[in-house]
Amino acid sequence: MLCCICKEKNATVHLTQIQGEKMQKVDLCEECAKTKGVNDQTGFSLADLLLGLGASQELEQSVGGADAKCVQCGFTHTDFKKSGRLGCSECYVTFAEGLGGLLKSMHKGTKHVGKVPESLRTKRDMTEQLTALQKKLNKAIASENFEAAAQLRDEIKQVNVQFTAAVV
């Protein structure tokens, strides 16, 4: 197969681009691939390749440029651009803002649904329960339903006792 640019040398680099329903194939020789920047590591982002075009720019804009760095493991945005992977679990906090849009385009939702480790399950359930009760309490107070409010206050107290017991 001949390179489709110079039409002289043998093509060794094969690219396939799929956009919508259209598929385009390009076959290049090594030299033409180089001049076109296909082999250039910095010009050709693996993150974009893995996560969809534009992913790395999106992240860059929202985390304050290429210098953003994870305090835990020293991973930078540039590293993410190169590898398409993060450095450690803390990176999800460091790069949280930029990841939001990315996750939205990649997944069904942006909040986890499904299995939770048992040790965290009780804690999480209780936190959620407390938030819900607190909301109800505020509503009851606002509508001057003091009987319900008193009941809710007692319930919150009870859950709090359980919560402290579970966490310790």
Partner 1 sequence: MNLDDFLVSAADSAHRKGPNDRIVMSSRVRLARNIKDGAFPGWAKKPERVRVLEVIRPAVESLPEMKGAFSETMDNLSALDKQILVERHLVSREHAAKSAGSGLVINTDETLSVMINEEDHLRIQALRPGLQIRQAWQAIDRLDSELERKLTYAFSNELGYLTACPTNLGTGIRVSAMLHLPGLVLGEQINPIIQSVNKLGLAVRGLYGEGTEALGNVFQVSNQMTLGEAETSIVERLEKVLAQIIEHEENARASLLEKKPKMIYNHIGRAYGILANSHSISSKETMNLLSLLRLGVEVGLFPKTDGSLVDELFILTQPAHLQKNHSEKLSAEERDLLRADMLRERLKPVSRPVAKPGGSAAPGMDKSDKS
CA 84: distance to chain centroid? 11
> Exposed (0-12), middle (13-18) or buried (19+): which is 113, by Cβ within 10 Å?
exposed
Smaller CB distance to partner 1: residue 101 or 159?
101
**CA distance between the termini of the chain:** 68
Q: Give min distance, CB of 165 to partner 1, in A.
A: 20
Smaller CB distance to partner 1: residue 88 or 150?
88
Q: Give min distance, CB of 101 to partner 1, in A.
A: 11
Binding site for partner 1 (CB under 8 A): 50-51, 72-73, 75, 79, 83-89, 92, 99, 102-103, 106-120, 124
Q: Give min distance, CB of 115 to partner 1, in A.
A: 6
User: And the tokens for 129?
Assistant: 């329960």
Q: Give min distance, CB of 4 to partner 1, in A.
A: 22
Q: Give min distance, CB of 33 to partner 1, in A.
A: 18
CB atoms within 10 A of CB 132: 10
Beta-carbon-side half-sphere exposure of residue 10 (alpha carbons within 13 Å):
1
Smaller CB distance to partner 1: residue 123 or 139?
123
Smaller CB distance to partner 1: residue 131 or 134?
131
Using the Cα atoms of residue 58, residue 59, residue 61 and residue 65 in order, give the sign of their dihedral.
Answer: negative
User: And the tokens for 132?
Assistant: 């819900």
Smaller CB distance to partner 1: residue 42 or 119?
119
